[in-house]
Amino acid sequence: ILITAPQGFGKTTNLDMIRRFCELQVRSDGSVVPIEQTENYRVFTAKYMKGDTEKHLDVFKDRRFFDNHFGKYSVIYLDFKSLKGTSYDHFLRSFRRVVATEFRRHKYLLTSKKLNDGDRASLNDYFEKIVKGQATKDDILNGVKFLTEVLCNIFGSKVIVLVDEYDAAVQDALFRSAIDLEQIIDVYHDLIFYLFKFNYYVERALVNSCIRQSGADLIGENDFEFLFFTRKHNFKSFYGFTKDEVLGLASKFKISNEMKNIESWYGGYYEYISKLDMFHVDSVVKYLKFKIFRSYWPKLKTMESFRNIFSDIDFRSEVFGIVENGSYIMEEDVADRIKIMDLHKTLNGFLHLGKDLSKISLHKEFLLFNFMLDLGYYTSKPFRKKVNGRAAVTLEVPNKQMEREIQVLAKKYLK
């Protein structure tokens, strides 16, 4: 499964929670720690205050599910947040470091008595090359696949693969050389092929991302189920705080009287199933810490270059029109028909041509608004009528925080 959401909506927290629930704990000598002795078991079986009473977590109440799956899997966890897209060489070096981190985490395998001499020699070879920074692209990819095989054979269960911030390098590369971006995309395709295509040793995979083009463009249409933040799916309410959750936090911090202001500043993200609004997690948490209503939006490197979109007067007017008038209507699935290289071409047109850029086309306007939607600058709601025979949505600025962020982008360009 690939799930998208803007930064600060709890993707990493959810992924870490799943890792801690699923992963079997291993000592440095390779022996498995009994489940009841692990810190993760204490976390998931403890009682927590909910309202005025202590209660178990919901997942622990389903004892059959808990006993069947808790602490039963080896996990490969790849954090792509640090991947660099400034050039293909920088990307490959940072990719090697990410994989090296995971190999070090499973270093105990090298001394496992369950490993035969041939597999031990192969694993040691991959370990030496990857950790010492001497591995080629094929070494890295083959090494990750071999790691799934070794883990499965030693512990007797297929591996769960978790990938965080899958599209980080692509977002970074969107404003770089087209050749570098194409090479980076090729590595993504190869990773999916090596890790998941015909790989008996992988049980499940969960991948986090921001932009929708990280789906079919970076993974492939037939390999994963795509659950986009801007669409209806059953997990949507777990990415962001619900109003009830924020009400509970406000009560705990004795600021229930500020609930309307919290909602106007950090809420407003439409959730398709409940038809209620979600709140930006990081901003709510930081407000609770500092008690000041201001923007806590993460500073995205992508947007420093993206501000050049305001070179087009008409597009700038449309952006401020949404802020002032409330909405913008477009086809719902327009982003599904856009490729990463289309996005790259459009964004770099603004970056390099600036004020000399000719009038933006409607197609590119849709593309740019979808990009800002994926990054969290807008929220989308179903529109009652079709546009060009297709289902349509309205884009809206969700809250005061994003109004401020859009105004900051425009001011940086105008300066």
Q: Match 């969700």 to its residue by tokens.
A: 398
Core vs surface per residue 48-59: b (16+ CB within 10 A) or e: eeeeeeeeebee
- Domain identity same for 222 and 249: no
Q: Return d(Cα 167, Cα 147) in angstroms, integer.
A: 23
For the CA atoms of 148, 150, 154, 157, what is the dihedral angle to 10 degrees? 20
- Domain identity same for 12 and 129: yes
Q: Is residue 20 a contact partner of residue 43, using CB atoms and an 8 Å limit?
A: yes
pLDDT of 360 > 60? The answer is no
Domain assignment of residue 45, yes or no = no
pLDDT digits (tens, 9 = 90+) for 237-256: 899 999 999 999 999 999 99
Q: Return d(Cα 48, Cα 151) in angstroms, integer.
A: 34
Domain assignment of residue 85, yes or no = yes
Q: Is residue 110 a contact partner of residue 123, using CB atoms and an 8 Å limit?
A: yes
Q: 204: closest CA among 8, 21, 334, 407?
A: 21
Domain assignment of residue 308, yes or no = yes
Domain assignment of residue 400, yes or no = yes
Least-confidence region, from 90-104, 227-241, 290-304, 333-347: 333-347
Domain assignment of residue 35, yes or no = no
* Cα first-last separation, the chain: 43
- Domain identity same for 329 and 197: no
Q: 182-186: which pairs have CB atoms within 8 A and are 24 or more residues apart?
A: 182/341, 183/88, 183/91, 184/85, 184/88, 184/91, 185/217, 185/218, 185/340
Q: State the pLDDT confidence band at 302, using cuts at 50, 70 and 90.
A: low
- Domain identity same for 216 and 286: no
- Domain identity same for 252 and 376: no
Q: How many residues does the chain have?
A: 415
Core vs surface per residue 354-365: b (16+ CB within 10 A) or e: eeebeebeeebb
Distant-in-sequence, close-in-space partners of 64: CB < 8 Å, separation ≥ 6: none
Give, as one character, the DSSP assignment of residue 387.
Answer: B
Total domain count, the chain: 3
- Domain identity same for 126 and 150: yes
Structure tokens at 389: 């025979």
Residue that is last in its domain, among 250, 267, 290: 290
Domain assignment of residue 95, yes or no = yes
- Domain identity same for 262 and 321: no
* Amino acid 337: pLDDT: 62
- Domain identity same for 274 and 180: no
Q: 399-402: which pairs have CB atoms within 8 A and are 24 or more residues apart?
A: 399/263, 399/264, 399/265, 399/266, 399/267, 399/268, 399/280, 400/264, 400/265, 400/293, 401/265, 401/266, 401/280, 401/283, 401/295, 401/296, 401/297, 402/297, 402/376, 402/377, 402/378
Distance of CA 405 to the CA centre of its chain: 21
Q: Which amino acid would we find at residue 352?
A: H
Structure tokens at 408: 């900051």
Q: Which of 20-34, 202-216, 310-324, 339-353 has the highest mean pLDDT?
A: 20-34
Give, as one character, the DSSP assignment of residue 224.
Answer: -
pLDDT digits (tens, 9 = 90+) for 176-201: 888 899 999 999 999 999 998 889 99
CA distances 97 to 103, 133, 163, 198, Å, are 10, 8, 14, 26
Quote the pTM value. Answer: 0.90
Domain boundaries, position 264 = 242-290
- Domain identity same for 323 and 274: no
Domain assignment of residue 134, yes or no = yes
- Domain identity same for 254 and 399: no
pLDDT digits (tens, 9 = 90+) for 137-178: 999 999 999 999 999 999 999 999 999 999 999 888 887 888
Ranges of H-type helices in 197-278: 243-252, 259-266
Percent of the chain with pLDDT over 70: 89
Domain assignment of residue 394, yes or no = yes
- Domain identity same for 118 and 13: yes
CA distances 156 to 198, 202, 238, 320, 347, Å, are 18, 12, 31, 57, 48
Least-confidence region, from 86-95, 205-214, 256-265: 205-214
Q: Return d(Cα 152, Cα 167) in angstroms, integer.
A: 27
- Domain identity same for 327 and 192: no
pLDDT of 118 > 50? The answer is yes
Q: Is 162 helix (H, G, I), strand (E, B) or coil?
A: strand
